[in-house]
Structure 1
Amino acid sequence: MKKCIILHLSIFSAMVNRIDSTDKARDLIHTLEAQHGALMFYQAGGCCEGTQPQCFEKGGYFPRMNDAMIGLVEGYEFWVDRDLFEYWKHAHFTLDVLEGFGPGGFSLETPLGKTFKVHYRLFTDKELKELSPIKRSE
């Protein structure tokens, strides 16, 4: 039994994350967490908020059917619009923070004069074979 557990954990730890964050993003997340409690992120495919990631209180936004949860940032789910995910499924996301206001004002960091931003890079062929699984909303 121990061998199975160890093997399972080593396989899981070898998976490639689809999202990471910068120190600035992690610091802002902790600030927002202290003010608002549990959080969640959603990155839409356009409209009034563009494609900037939005931070909400957990449960403050409901992902649409078949949207993709690509991973956790500081323990909080990061959801991506289903159509946007299809476009960016071969890319690694890095959550960062910029000074100033983003394209809208729905995200929790807006009153602090900051906006979350995602930097993208394509996965290598090796990384594509080892990607962590996504979760789809139902």
Structure 2
Amino acid sequence: MVKRLDVTEKALEVIKMLKEKHGDLMFYQAGGCCEGTQPQCFEKGGFYVRTNDAMIGLVDGFEFWIDRDLFEYWKFSHFTLDVTEGFGPGGFSLETPLGKTFKIIYRLFTEEELKDLEPVKRME
């Protein structure tokens, strides 16, 4: 099966620091105004996933959720979680005090990949 989500080594380094400080984590990518489409990292349970939101994979064992409407727009795309220097537009994510911002690098799946995608878990 083709994974919908990958993570860069640079992002894994930041996740390791966050895990040491905060314990179990979760990721959520919304399509709202304040945070734009910037992925946010929270302590596990620190954000309430909505009905029909999509969990597209795990990042270092932690769930990565996407807003249901945003997923419909990006469902034919592969996500790679990365990190960059600086503060994102929202500032609510756990990496913000480190002067970092998680970001997503997108690419479209190939026709072959689309035939064998990992299933998506939906919040009920």
TM-score, length-normalised on structure 2? 0.99
Q: Does 1:74 align with 2:60?
A: yes
Q: CA deviation at 1:80?
A: 0.2
CA distance in 1, matches of 2:116, 2:16: 29
Tell me the equivalent position of 2:83: 97
Tell me the equivalent position of 1:136: 122
Rg comparison, structure with higher value: 1
Tell me the equivalent position of 2:106: 120
The structure that is helix-richer by fraction is 1
Q: Does 1:35 align with 2:21?
A: yes
Q: CA deviation at 1:104?
A: 1.5
Matches within 5 A, 1:26-65: 26-65=12-51
Tell me the equivalent position of 1:107: 93
CA distance in 2, matches of 1:50, 1:75: 25
CA distance in 2, matches of 1:91, 1:43: 14
Structure showing greater relative contact order (alpha-carbon pairs closer than 8 Å, 6 or more residues apart) = 2
CA distance in 2, matches of 1:90, 1:46: 20
**Secondary structure of 2:34's aligned partner:** helix
Structure 1 stretches of at least 4 aligned residues deviating more than 6 Å after TM superposition? none
CA distance in 2, matches of 1:109, 1:62: 19
The residue type equivalent to 2:54 in the other structure is A
Q: CA deviation at 1:106?
A: 0.5
**Superposition RMSD on alpha carbons, in Å?**
0.5
CA distance in 2, matches of 1:89, 1:118: 14
CA distance in 2, matches of 1:63, 1:53: 14
CA distance in 2, matches of 1:57, 1:17: 24
- How many residues align structurally? 124
TM-score, length-normalised on structure 1? 0.89
In the alignment, structure 1 segments of 5+ residues that lack a partner are 1-14
CA distance in 2, matches of 1:133, 1:17: 9
The residue type equivalent to 2:70 in the other structure is L
Task: Name the % identity.
Answer: 75
